[in-house]
A = this chain, B = another copy of it.
């Protein structure tokens, strides 16, 4: 740690967490890491700071019985980093706040630190600070991500005539959650999608560098919910060809295609990207994207004048799939 802390059990916890993360992720620049009242960050000249904060709360975002603590830490940081990907920003560092109930202490903190460290290592950035507290109830994490971009890509730049694309495959994480809620052991591929999502940081920057990406959002709340956000922010209608939605492998095997679509379009936390580009602009880049990143890039629809999201069936007529994004205030299903 850059700035030494005084003795004491609260500060031993901070020292231990910082050292666990430092064994895995890049060190903060000299004089920039944890230990002072605030972290110091140099934003590259000419770039805009991009910042987001993302809560992960036991009983809302995850259940203790589902995951190892290392996975909880990994997902908390990855979900927050995904908000930087959604702006095509480069990560500069992360602050992590953790509150733990008294019965969980050092071992759990260490495991959360291992997961956070692995997520930071994947993004090539450092732990810059955070806050630790006791919790009288659930485990709470809040990950603050800092990034920068010369030209951040917003949700609001979609224009009628644009193509709509998604990265990766959808619905794997939602299937795992549904199976856990049904007290089933999840399909291993679905479990992996939930446990080891990746923030599409490099993918987003590559796409924004190569093409005129108009609007970009991550699918943290699911295709249905996030397409509605993109539509509202851009003042356009998003038309999705239901048949084109790239289903995660276990969903592609479902005999009930409507159940598969509901998971793929309604379930969040795959952390894939939804983006728009002028008609035809991304098609020539698709093969290069897929070979570079080992992930699919799929055209799923187009932008028209109007508002909201329209789901189109195989015959291109509208279909009614009552899909909404995940509401973090609603009770669990």
A181 close to chain B: CB less than 8 A: no
Which residues of B lie under 8 Å from residue A229 when comparing CB positions? 5-6
Binds B, one of A152-160, A166-174, A188-196: A152-160
A231 close to chain B: CB less than 8 A: yes
Given A37-B217, A58-B136, A133-B57, does the pair A144, B329 have CB atoms closer than 8 Å? Answer: no
When the two chains form their complex, are residues A3 and B53 in contact, meaning their CB atoms are under 8 A apart?
Answer: no
| Interface magnitude class on chain A | 35 or more
When the two chains form their complex, are residues A60 and B133 in contact, meaning their CB atoms are under 8 A apart?
Answer: yes
> CA–CA, A61 to B329, complex, Å?
23
When the two chains form their complex, are residues B99 and A57 in contact, meaning their CB atoms are under 8 A apart?
Answer: yes
Chain B, Cβ-Cβ closest to A3: B233
Which residues of B lie under 8 Å from residue A84 when comparing CB positions? 38
A131 close to chain B: CB less than 8 A: yes
Which residues of B lie under 8 Å from residue A97 when comparing CB positions? 53-55, 142
When the two chains form their complex, are residues A132 and B38 in contact, meaning their CB atoms are under 8 A apart?
Answer: no
Binds B, one of A7-15, A110-118, A280-288: A7-15
When the two chains form their complex, are residues B136 and A51 in contact, meaning their CB atoms are under 8 A apart?
Answer: no
Which residues of B lie under 8 Å from residue A225 when comparing CB positions? 6, 8
Chain B, Cβ-Cβ closest to A41: B49
When the two chains form their complex, are residues B52 and A39 in contact, meaning their CB atoms are under 8 A apart?
Answer: yes
In chain A between 145 and 164, which residues have their CB closer than 8 angstroms to a CB of chain B?
Answer: 145-147, 152, 154-156
Q: Which residue of B3, B9, B83, B136 contacts A57 across the interface (Cβ within 8 Å)?
A: B136
Q: How far is the CB of A202 from chain B (nearest CB, A)?
A: 17
Which residues of B lie under 8 Å from residue A3 when comparing CB positions? 154-156, 233
A325 close to chain B: CB less than 8 A: yes
Could you mark each residue 225-266 of chain A with 1 if its beta carbon is under 8 Å from any beta carbon of chain B, else 0?
A: 100110111010000000000000000000000000000000
A223 close to chain B: CB less than 8 A: no
Max chain B C-beta neighbours (<10 A), residue from A38, A42, A102, A328? A38
When the two chains form their complex, are residues B39 and A131 in contact, meaning their CB atoms are under 8 A apart?
Answer: no
Chain B, Cβ-Cβ closest to A10: B327
Q: Which residue of B7, B35, B135, B235 contacts A60 across the interface (Cβ within 8 Å)?
A: B135
Which residues of B lie under 8 Å from residue A131 when comparing CB positions? 53-55, 142
* Apart from A41-B49, A131-B142, 19 more pairs, CB < 8 Å: A5-B232, A6-B232, A7-B232, A8-B324, A36-B154, A39-B52, A40-B48, A40-B49, A43-B49, A51-B129, A53-B144, A55-B142, A57-B135, A57-B140, A58-B136, A59-B136, A60-B133, A137-B137, A137-B138
B-binding residues in A (CB < 8 A): 3-10, 13, 35-43, 45, 48-55, 57-61, 83-84, 86-87, 89, 95, 97, 99, 102, 105, 128-138, 140, 142, 144-147, 152, 154-156, 217-218, 225, 228-229, 231-233, 235, 324-325, 327-331
